[in-house]
Amino acid sequence: MNRPFIINFKNYGEASSAEKTLELAMAAQDVAKRLGVEVVVAPPQPALALVCKSVDIPVVSQHIDDAQQGSTTGFFVPEIAKLYGASGSLINHSEHRIGVDIIASLVKRLRSLQMTSIVCARTPDEVAAISKMEPDFIAIEPPELIGSGRAVSKENPAIITDSIKAAGGRSKVICGAGITDESDVAKAVELGSYGVLVASGIIKAKSWPDKIAELAQGMKKIS
């Protein structure tokens, strides 16, 4: 994974059934192959194995637990995610925050499994602290802009450039929150972001293929 355009399905009703989840994943795959953009999907946890079996593009888990294999009922562990076919996982999303020690442990576990770690952060200060753990990617997402329709790349461009400086080259920085159109993505990559993390901007769109293709064009500015 180098310059990912990540689609987080979250638990939105529009993409919650098996059929709709696959429809969205297949639309993402079609755009990835047609435009040559690295589209990555993060489906709802129950559909992870199904999506991994159905598409050739990278699939990541929305969350992972720092529990061990064995008698750990209800936890979703990295080793199982890899067996399902996942390429990696989001960690510490603003809607599912975890402690610093757990983040560090998960980054190490994913690295040992040759899986990609994408750790979310709210501020450049958090980026600086997380970058010391050397995850593959850090996604800067100011929580006040998540799902707002107001793109971080336009509303607060400094948080992207400051986060890139804070990471110090130890991790690649991507961004998310409020991204809804091609210009939002293009502005993000112009600022130095290695990619984007998008959810409602796609899931709530009338046409998934059209919206994914539109946003992917913004990624092509650097591809």
- Can you give the pTM of this predicted structure? 0.94
Specify the number of domains making up the chain: 1
- Summarize the confidence of residues 66-84 as an average pLDDT: 95
- CATH code at 101? 3.20.20.70
What domain range includes position 197? 5-219
What is the DSSP track for 14-76? GG-SHHHHHHHHHHHHHHHHHHT--EEEE--GGGHHHHHHH-SS-BEES------SSS-TT--
pLDDT (tens digit per residue) in 163-183: 999 999 999 999 988 888 999
Catalytic residue numbers, as ranges: 93, 141
- 200 among annotated binding-site residues: yes
- 221 among annotated binding-site residues: no
- 82 among annotated binding-site residues: no
pLDDT the model gives residue 223: 46
- 199 among annotated binding-site residues: yes
221 band by pLDDT with thresholds 50, 70 and 90? low
d(CA 55, CA 69): 26
Query: Residue 190: CB partners within 8 Å, gap ≥ 6?
Result: 221
